[in-house]
Amino acid sequence: MSNVKNVNDSTFESEVLKSTQPVLVEFGAEWCGPCHRMAPILDQISDNTDIKVFKIDIDDATEVTAKYGIRGVPTIMLFNNGKVLATKVGLVPLNILDAFITENLNK
């Protein structure tokens, strides 16, 4: 069972921006092959870390997608205290994503 939840325009603020713990968000789309390949990687991150992990479909969440200037999918954004700490675009292997999270949370 995946701990990765979906967010949209109406739940993004409460789930991501107002979260008291760090949040990793994958901006993706149903039609995106690399996004589907990110799913098990996101599941592992969610299962093995204390951060929340969410997915957001760019076709359904046009306000959030526009606000953050998402141009390619998958785009991974790491948030803490309502602010973007870092962004990574494209399919990211687990070891690289894990290092990305650790590096940016320890700045």
Query: Of 35, 53, 73, 92, which is the active-site residue?
Result: 35
Q: In sequence order, what are the beta bridge partners of 53?
A: 24
Per-residue pLDDT, 89: 97
Q: Output the tens digit of pLDDT for each of the chain's 107 residues.
A: 578 999 999 999 999 999 999 999 999 999 999 999 999 999 999 998 889 999 999 999 999 999 999 999 999 999 999 999 999 999 999 999 999 999 999 87
What are the domain boundaries of the chain? 5-105
Please give the CATH architecture assigned to the domain spanning 5-105. 3-Layer(aba) Sandwich (3.40)
- 100: helix, strand or coil: helix
Query: Is there a catalytic annotation at residue 106?
Result: no
Which SS3 state, helix, strand or coil, does residue 17 take? helix
Q: What is the pTM of this model?
A: 0.95
Please indicate whether residue 35 is annotated as part of the active site.
yes
Note the pLDDT of residue 1.
55
